[in-house]
């Protein structure tokens, strides 16, 4: 396969795309990118393309700010139009967003092979839109590139051995990005000095199941406020979530900053004491930079991080959050174990795609 069309639209996908786009250039695979516009403000989108030298999208659909159904439908229509015009040999999608599902659906209905990077992940929580997106995308994909052994086993348990698909464990391309861009971030980011940070906890809150549930959001703010009494908590917060806090008249005692680019995020991860998050990607990034993580969900797709003692699941209970913070404050761990491919995931993926 020498002609790929890649569909991306959200921050984690920009990071992942940077790793494979670089490998495609080395392998002689032609790639065009569709940016759906799912993450639309400059800090969440444009800065990633600039910082990480991702090829400029050939198409920008600018679809955002609508319901799940409307967003996925409009993306499906827009992507289908491009596929009919460009006729690529394959469509590549990442992760579990509406952009992922729309790209896969548009391709499979036109009999174009689908490649799913980060296949096989399961939270087993069907209330998560991401879980629905990833299950459906896996089922209609031709090449399933899995980041972990657990992901491979999930697919096998669901009967994928009986389907005409190829399952490959390639590792996690986000670790490729973390290793590749760490030095560049050190050279270019000034966020630590600009904010005057020394000893701090990094926290992120974005998942809809938390931000749109007033009880859960109040619990998270309460827990972070308690931690902030012991050590500064820094939270890059999307404007949408900040508006929700204002509407609910919640009073965070911790430090809120604007959303940050990837290089700034790397530096925050490298210098923080601990990570608290409801993001799947940030759980792994904490591990990549040798930091323990507390996850503000009832489950995680990255079970190996919990099994190895790097991550603790607390839901949104403020007391469990504080207990986990105190537990990790004095814990020493070895983070050198190979869980995600040690930086070769994109290379393996590109070779598999080239053979299709």
Average pLDDT over residues 200-224: 95
Residue closest to 149 by CA, chosen among 339, 335, 311? 339
Cβ contact 211:244 at 8 Å: yes
Nearest to 257 by CA among 332, 326, 330, 202: 202
Question: Taking residues 239-268, what's their average pLDDT?
Answer: 94
State what percent of residues in the chain have pLDDT above 70: 97
CA distance 331 to 100: 38
| Contact (CB, 8 A) for 137 and 104 | yes
61-94 residue pLDDT tens? 999 888 999 999 999 999 999 999 999 999 999 9
Residue 355 · residue 34 · CB < 8 Å: no
Confidence of residue 43 (pLDDT cuts 50, 70, 90): low
pLDDT of amino acid 45:
60
206 is catalytic: yes
**CA 110 from centre of chain:** 28
* Cβ-proximal residues to 266 (8 Å cutoff; 6+ apart), any chain: 178, 181, 182, 185, 189, 285, 289
Residue 186 neighbours by CB under 8 Å, 6+ apart: 267, 270
CATH 3.40.50.2000 in the chain: give the residue spans.
3-172+341-354, 180-329
Task: State the catalytic residue, choosing from 39, 81, 206, 308.
Answer: 206
CATH of 3-172+341-354, one of 3.40.50.2000, 3.40.710.10, 1.10.230.10, 3.20.20.70: 3.40.50.2000
Give the model's pLDDT for residue 88.
98
Structure confidence by residue, pLDDT tens digits, 89-124: 999 999 999 999 999 999 999 999 999 999 999 999
Q: Which of 351, 354, 338 is nearest to 147 (CA)?
A: 338
Average of per-residue pLDDT across 214-230: 97
For residue 11, pLDDT over 90 is answered with: no
180-329: CATH architecture: 3-Layer(aba) Sandwich (3.40)
């Amino acid at each position: 396969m020498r002609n790929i069309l890649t569909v991306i639209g959200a921050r984690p996908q920009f990071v992942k795309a940077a790793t494979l786009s670089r490998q495609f250039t080395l392998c002689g695979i032609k790639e065009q990118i569709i940016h759906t516009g799912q993450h639309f403000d400059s800090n969440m989108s444009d800065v990633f393309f600039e910082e990480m030298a991702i090829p400029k999208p050939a198409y920008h659909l600018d679809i955002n700010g609508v319901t799940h159904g409307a967003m996925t439908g409009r993306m499906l229509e827009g992507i289908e139009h491009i596929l009919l015009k460009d006729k690529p040999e394959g469509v590549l999608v990442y992760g579990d967003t509406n952009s992922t599902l729309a790209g896969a659906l548009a391709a499979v209905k036109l009999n174009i092979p689908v490649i799913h990077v980060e296949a096989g992940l399961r939270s087993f929580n069907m209330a998560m839109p991401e879980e629905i997106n990833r299950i459906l995308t896996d089922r209609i994909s031709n090449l399933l590139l899995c980041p972990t052994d657990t992901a491979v086993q999930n697919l096998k348990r669901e009967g994928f051995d009986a389907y005409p698909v190829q399952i490959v464990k390639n590792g996690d391309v986000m670790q490729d990005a973390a290793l590749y861009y760490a030095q560049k971030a050190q050279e270019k980011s000034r966020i630590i000095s600009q904010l005057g940070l020394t000893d701090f906890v990094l926290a992120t809150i974005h998942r809809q199941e938390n931000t749109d549930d007033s009880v859960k959001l109040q619990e998270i703010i309460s827990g972070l406020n308690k931690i902030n009494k012991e050590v500064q908590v820094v939270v890059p917060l999307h404007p949408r979530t900040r508006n929700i806090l204002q509407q609910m008249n919640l009073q965070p005692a911790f430090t809120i900053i604007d959303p940050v680019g990837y290089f700034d995020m790397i530096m925050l991860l490298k210098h923080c004491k601990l990570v608290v998050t409801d993001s799947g990607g940030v759980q792994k990034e904490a591990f990549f930079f040798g930091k323990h993580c507390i996850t503000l969900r009832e489950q995680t797709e990255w079970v190996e991080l919990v099994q190895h003692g790097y991550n603790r699941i607390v839901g949104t209970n403020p007391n469990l959050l504080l207990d986990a913070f105190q537990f990790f404050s004095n814990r020493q761990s070895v983070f050198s174990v190979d869980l995600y491919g040690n930086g070769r995931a994109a290379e393996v993926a590109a070779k598999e795609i080239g053979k299709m």
